[in-house]
Each structure stands twice: as C-alpha cells, then as structure tokens.
Amino acid sequence: MIQRLILLLLLFAVSSLPVASALEAGAAKIEITPTVGVPLTGYGDRMGRSSTGVHDPLWARALYLTDGETPALIVNTDLCFILPELRERVLALVPSVVPPENVFLTATHTHSGPGAMSHRLLTRLMTGRYMPEVIDRTAEGIAEAMRLAVQQARRASIGYATAKQEVLSRNRSIPDGPIDEQIGVIRVDDADGASIAIVTNFAAHPTSVPSADGYAFSADYPGFYYDEIERLASPGCIALFLNGAEGDQTIANPENKSGWARTESVGRLLAVRAKGAANKIVCGDATLHVGHLEVDMPPTLAGAIVPTKAILKTLEINDLLLTFLPGEPCVSIAHALRQRALARGYGAQFTVGLANDYLLYFTGPTDYRRPSYEAAISLFGPGMEDWFCRQFEGLMTRGVPPEADPLPDTPVVNEVEGVRHVILSGPPRTVGRQRGLAFAAAIKAYYEAAIVAPVRSGDYRPALPIWSWLPAFIDPTPVLLPLLAGGARPRLGELDDALLLELEGMAEGAGMPFDAVWLAQNAHEFALQPDSAPLFDTPLCTMFAVVGDRAGADRLFVGRNLDWAREETPVVTEVYPEKGRAFLQIDFPWHVGTFTGMNDAGLVICAERSERLGPPNVKASPLGMVLRDVLAVAKDVDAAIEVLRLHEGLSGYHVLLASPGEGTPSAAVVMLGETLSVRLAGGTGLLTGSDPRHHATAPDARLRYARVEELLADERIIGRNEIEGVLSDTTGTEEPMSAICNERTRFGTVFEPGTRTVYVAVPHGDGRMGPFTSWRLKTGGAP
C-alpha cells in the first residue's frame, strides 16, 4: 500500500514538473550552383567577368529546430555574403511555421561563389552585373532547403561541444597573431540516435581556391568539410558550416600541401576534428531562445556603400549562445563576445559572421590602428568591439546586462572677450563626448570645409589614373571619403588608447562618423602635402620663451600667436582626464590634439610649421595628437623630448617646450626634420621658435622673429605685459604675415607656467589684439 502511495506521489510529482516540449529537428540541403557564365564575387580583380566552370557544387543547407515554442531555421549557404536583395527574397519564402526573424541566414564566405545578386551600383563593382534570375534561383534553392528541413522534422535531441585547434587557421594580418582556436560543434540526433545534422563553427577565410580555377564555382574548404563529415557521420546526416570571426583569419597549411590539396586537407581535417568533438556530445532536450535586433550602426562615411542598419541575432540552445554578425568580424571581437557571454553564465559561445547582411569588416581598436586590409575597410570606427558587446549583451537572457554609459550633459561654454572657455573632465570617452557635444556644429563645419570640399573639388584624388578619368558628371566623394579615411587610419597607430577613446567619444558627442572626426584632425597636414592644393599654408607661429633671470621672479614665460588661414574662433579647454595629467589647450573646437597647451606640471607646448623641415609625414601620427600625448605624460622639457623621440617619422615642425622644472626652468625648440634636433635658449634668455638669423628660415618668419627680438631687446626684465605688447605688435612690411599680429592671427597667448596660468586674447575686427583674459589650470583635479 505504502509502495503504491509512494508510486502515486512520484507520478504526481513528475507530472506536475514543467516539462519542455519535445525538441524536433530536420535538415536538408539543395544544390544552388548557378549556371556557368554567372559572375563570381569575392575578388575585385575579377572585374565582374563571367565564371567559366564548376569545380565543386554549391549548396544551401538548412537545419530546422523547434522546442515546441520557438522554431528556428539555421541556413548555411555557399555564398560569399548575404546581400539584402537575397535576404528579402528568401524571407518572403520562409515556411510559415517559422517567423522570419527566427531565420539565421548565413554565408560561408566562399570567394568562388556567385555574384550578380545586387542591383546597387557600388556593390556591383564587386559582385558584377546584376542578374535578377540568379537571385530568384538561389532564393528558391534556399527556400526549398528550408521547406524540406521543416518537412523532415522529427523528434530530436541536441548537444554541443567545443574543440581546440591551433594548426588549421592563422592570422593573416599579423604573423603569429591571435587566432580563434575554438571549433564549435552542434550535433542533432533523431530518436534513433542517428545524426540529423552536425553544425561546425570555425573561423577562416575560404580563399584557398588555386588561381588556375579562379573562375570556377567552388565551396572552397567547407566543400571538403561537408563531404568528409557526411562520410564520417551516419547516413543522411547534413553537415552545416558556420564561419566565425574570420575577418583576419585564414586557413593554415597543416599538412604542407599546395593548391587544391591544401584546401582539401584543411576541409577534411576540420571535419575530423569536428566529428571527434561531436562524438563526445551527449544529446538531450533543449530550450531555444531567439534574440533579434535591428539597430542603427554608428555613423559612417560609407553610407553609400554599406547599410547603416544592422541586423543582430542570437540563438540560445540551452546554455549555448550563438551570436550572428552581419559582416566579417576580426578575431578580437569573437574573443570579447565569448568573454562577456561566459561571464554572463553561458556554457559556450559561438560567433557566426556573414549572417543576414553584409557590412564589410569589423575590427577591435588595436587592429583598427594597424595598417591592414581589414582595418582599411572597417567603416564604422574603432569601437565596434565594444559596440557589438553592448548590443549582444542586451540580447543575452542570462546574467545581468551592464549599465549603459549615458551621454554626459553638454558642457557650458563661456565666452570672454571673444575667447570661448570650456571645462571637460572624466574618463577619456566622456571628455571626448563633452567636446563633441559642445562643438558639434564647428567640428562638422571644419570637416566639410577641410576634407569634403577638397575631395569634392578634385584636389584630393588617389593616385590611380582611373580617378582622373571619371566623367565630370560622376562625383566620387562618397567613395573617396572612406578611402581617404582608410589611408589616414595608420596615423592612429601610435596613438595613446585614451586619445583614441576620446576621439570616439568626440564622434559620438558630435553625432559624426569616427572617420570624419579623425580626418578633421589630419586635414591641415594633408593640405600641406606637396601634391595637394594647400588649404592652410600656415606657419602656426609666432612663439617664444623667456627663461631664467630675464623673466624676473616668475622665471619663465611663453608667448605665442597662432596664425591660421581659416577663420576660426579659439577655445580654451581645460581637460581633467581620469588618468594622466590635467592640461589646458588653446585650440579650435574640432581639434582633439593641440598646438598650444600647458599641463599641470607647467610644461608648455607650442608648435609651428617649418617648411625647411619638409612636409609633415602623413605616415606618422598627426603632430597635434603627439603633443597632446606629451602633455598627458611629461612633466618637464626633458621628458617631453623623450616622448617626441619615441614617435618616429615626425617632420615639418618646430616644437617649443618650456617648463618651470623644480626651480630650474628650461626651454627648448625641438626641430622635427629628417632627424630630431634641439635648440636651447642662449645667454639672452630669449628662445624664439625659429632663428631669425638662419638663412633657411622663411622670410616672413625671419621678419616676425627679428621684430620679437627688437621689441624685447631693451627690456632687462620681461614680464607678462611686455609679452602681451609683443604679441599685439602689428608692425610689418609688405611681406604677407610679416607682422607678429597679422591678418591670420587667430589668438595670442601668454603662458605663466609657474602659476599654471594662461592669458588669451583674440584680435578684433580692426586687426588689433583684444584684451587678454586669464584662466588657471587647477592642479588638484577637476573643479
């Protein structure tokens, strides 16, 4: 009796437990090889020509899963990417049991797949002529695979595993660089234990087809993977391949083979590894969850080339998280996503690239600054790693998402005697956002004038003759701007991480593409290149330091007028960063770097252009950024010179450094030419930016600096008033810009490093310098 009672109680307990609906699954594949003659896509140098043959067939493979509540279709196609035209056609044909947002449409990224599927003009330059019938046939093939998979659904169990590999892939951008060592495997079995499907997630470019078959259709190494795994698995098993964060990953050559043998070797080895991992999986029931998000991408200069909205999807199978990205993420993004997913309580995470859309490459901040193909065609800025992590964390159902980083308030900009003043503080990104919020209009205006205008007018053109052959009715600006940005990207290379974050923040605050903000930072140096029309033939001067006894009790003063071709209003910006030294810069709103600044150690930096030292090196970081870096870390002149020495390749400038030191003030002019050389103050205690007696000094600079010496010659002690007088002097000759305060002078500054005080004035409309207003840098942190 008691036994019966216990049995009844057990039955009751079991029946009252929440039971997941039984998992069902089905898989199918349909060949989608187009007819010979359809152009291929993947390599631009094919120039849209027709295909000439088929090496191996292309497939659409679909895996249908449903836990009774959430149906999902994972579709794997042997295509280079999924373009919107194809996606729309496929989604219109999805079996009615699956909501379109639960379809995961992926491409293996074979570079030997068909093009012809975009009607957008700029995309056609890569994918070849538009053939609507190719879209129709491909979409119908995919739809048929989906329909069959749904049709064949049956009771199933599922499981996953990860395996480690070190020899199948390599980083193609950095020798011995990071790779995604994870092979992710999902096995789906039917009720009899026969495999319905094995899904493998592995990251490497399918670009291994030998050039002799460069015009033949092929699935590349995934084709051999399919063959091998379907051979190894039980009959009827469908192999699926989901490429991962393959942006900077390609296949290695583990068996040292060449041509097709290498392709086959990697495909089959991958299958063996995957099958090995699959064999260890214990399949069971599963709960599915689909995350779907359509979100605006960060602003980009390439809006004419790539979609500006992204489709992000997640599929959760129990504690496995699959994240689907619409493009080619580099491996650092996969690592970051995995780290976040594991921290949120997932057992494993697979990154799937080339899913649902194609927005080209995505790199992390480190890769973004490296001169590489991947960086050059990453069009959404250096912050994509963080951006994807934030977006996907919002879709994860496990754990608690991190709090969003709110935009700071727009800082208050005061104006005194024509000089604007603003205080920025906080972590670098916040400082940048504040700057962007405060001066969005000015930054945009400068970018338009200094970058967009010369590109549009044809002053900036790549060297390839085709850009000169374009007919006049074509305005290539929407294409050239991303190219120009790609060219400027290596200049980020040596930039401090904090500065990069600040630039990102500035772009966010101003609502501009990162590339636009960065190009604005570079504009003045681009314009100084000999082969482009000079936008600013500015010498960025005058500057001088008075040091030692001649500066009286204050021991050190620096005077500086900044001459600048474009009419702009200066801003005095106090920056109190989270890390590094607080500093104060007198610059223009768009400028994150600086040509005129002082830090909390009293180190003063001013720069002037020196034509005799050649044009600025566009392969090196912009000088303004380097000087900003110097202000953030250096405490005195010697330390500043050391930092400058670390930045190789700087050229075309004089940099005046002055610091009070520890009771021993010093000043130096660093000349950045082929080599770095230093000029120190002589016995007069006066150090000018250029030597007026040097034969190579430009005539106008010679006149200005001679006038500085003349005005100060009779002053035994030089104080602030005398320097203000010098900076206000309008005496000149017919030589343009021969006066210290001339028609291009945008502001005058006197630095009093001992008290961390700066006095700033702007010329009035009549050309005379206005009154000087003082600001003092707080040494104890942000006010």
Which of 26, 34, 39, 411 binds other proteins (CB under 8 A)? It is 39
CB of 319 to other proteins, least distance (A): 45
Picking from 212, 191, 96, the residue whose alpha carbon sits closest to that of residue 150 is 96
- Strand ranges of the sheet holding 419-426, from the earlier edge strand across to the other edge: 414-416, 419-426, 571-577, 583-587, 596-599, 604-609, 653-659, 666-672, 676-680
Q: Does the protein bind other proteins through residue 20 (CB under 8 A)?
A: no
Which of 97, 122, 646, 717 binds other proteins (CB under 8 A)? It is 122
Distances (CA, A) of 85 to 98, 135, 140, 296: 20, 8, 13, 19
Q: Does the protein bind other proteins through residue 53 (CB under 8 A)?
A: yes
What gap in Å lies between CA 755 and CA 777, rounded to an integer? 8
CB crowding 586-620: b at 16 or more within 10 Å, else e: bbbbbbbbbbbbbbbbbbbbbbbbbeebebbbbeb
Site for other proteins in 397-456 (CB under 8 A): none
CB of 40 to other proteins, least distance (A): 11
What gap in Å lies between CA 537 and CA 519, rounded to an integer? 18
Q: Does the protein bind other proteins through residue 472 (CB under 8 A)?
A: yes
What gap in Å lies between CA 352 and CA 344, rounded to an integer? 19
Asked whether the beta carbons of 369 and 493 are under 8 A apart, the reply is yes
Give 419 or 479: the residue with its C-beta nearer to other proteins.
479
What gap in Å lies between CA 187 and CA 180, rounded to an integer? 21
SS (H, E, C) 316-350: EECCEEEEECCCEECHHHHHHHHHHHHHCCCCEEE
Give the pair of three-digit tokens for residue 645: 């020495």
Peptide bond into 573 cis (omega under 30): no
Give 380 or 747: the residue with its C-beta nearer to other proteins.
380
Q: Measure the CA dihedral 430/435/437/440, to 10°.
A: -140
Asked whether the beta carbons of 324 and 312 are under 8 A apart, the reply is yes
Segment interacting with other proteins (CB under 8 A) among 50-58, 363-371, 541-549, 716-724: 50-58
Give 100 or 462: the residue with its C-beta nearer to other proteins.
462
Q: Does the protein bind other proteins through residue 129 (CB under 8 A)?
A: yes
Distances (CA, A) of 712 to 138, 257, 694, 729: 81, 76, 19, 12
CB of 42 to other proteins, least distance (A): 14
Burial class (CB in 10 A: 0-12, 13-18, 19+), 101: middle
Q: Does the protein bind other proteins through residue 52 (CB under 8 A)?
A: yes
Q: Does the protein bind other proteins through residue 130 (CB under 8 A)?
A: yes
Which of 128, 382, 408, 577 binds other proteins (CB under 8 A)? It is 128
Give 79 or 302: the residue with its C-beta nearer to other proteins.
302
Q: Does the protein bind other proteins through residue 458 (CB under 8 A)?
A: no
CB of 132 to other proteins, least distance (A): 8
CB of 128 to other proteins, least distance (A): 6
Distances (CA, A) of 780 to 536, 582, 755: 38, 9, 13
Radius of gyration over every alpha carbon of the chain, rounded to an integer in angstroms: 32
Q: Does the protein bind other proteins through residue 462 (CB under 8 A)?
A: no
CB of 472 to other proteins, least distance (A): 7
Q: Does the protein bind other proteins through residue 577 (CB under 8 A)?
A: no
Give 84 or 428: the residue with its C-beta nearer to other proteins.
84
Q: Does the protein bind other proteins through residue 260 (CB under 8 A)?
A: no
Going by the DSSP 8-state scheme, the letter that residue 709 receives in this structure is H
What gap in Å lies between CA 485 and CA 551, rounded to an integer? 45
CB of 283 to other proteins, least distance (A): 43
Asked whether the beta carbons of 217 and 34 are under 8 A apart, the reply is yes
Give 12 or 473: the residue with its C-beta nearer to other proteins.
473
Q: Does the protein bind other proteins through residue 50 (CB under 8 A)?
A: yes
Give 301 or 592: the residue with its C-beta nearer to other proteins.
301
Give 124 or 654: the residue with its C-beta nearer to other proteins.
124
Interface with other proteins: number of residues (CB under 8 A): 36
Length in residues, the chain: 783
Give 123 or 690: the residue with its C-beta nearer to other proteins.
123
CB of 259 to other proteins, least distance (A): 12
CB of 214 to other proteins, least distance (A): 5
Segment interacting with other proteins (CB under 8 A) among 11-19, 413-421, 477-485, 728-736: 477-485
Site for other proteins in 186-225 (CB under 8 A): 211-216
Segment interacting with other proteins (CB under 8 A) among 58-66, 470-478, 572-580, 621-629: 470-478
CB of 53 to other proteins, least distance (A): 7
Q: Where are the alpha helices (DSSP H) in 326-427?
A: 331-343, 365-368, 373-376, 384-395
Segment interacting with other proteins (CB under 8 A) among 177-185, 318-326, 396-404, 472-480: 472-480
Asked whether the beta carbons of 772 and 783 are under 8 A apart, the reply is no
Q: How many CB atoms lie within 10 A of CB 19?
A: 10
Which of 93, 125, 633, 641 binds other proteins (CB under 8 A)? It is 125
Q: Does the protein bind other proteins through residue 48 (CB under 8 A)?
A: yes
CB of 90 to other proteins, least distance (A): 21
CB of 117 to other proteins, least distance (A): 11
Q: Does the protein bind other proteins through residue 8 (CB under 8 A)?
A: no
Site for other proteins in 272-331 (CB under 8 A): 303-304
Q: Which residues bind other proteins (CB under 8 A)?
A: 39, 45-50, 52-53, 119-122, 124-125, 128-132, 211-216, 303-304, 472-479
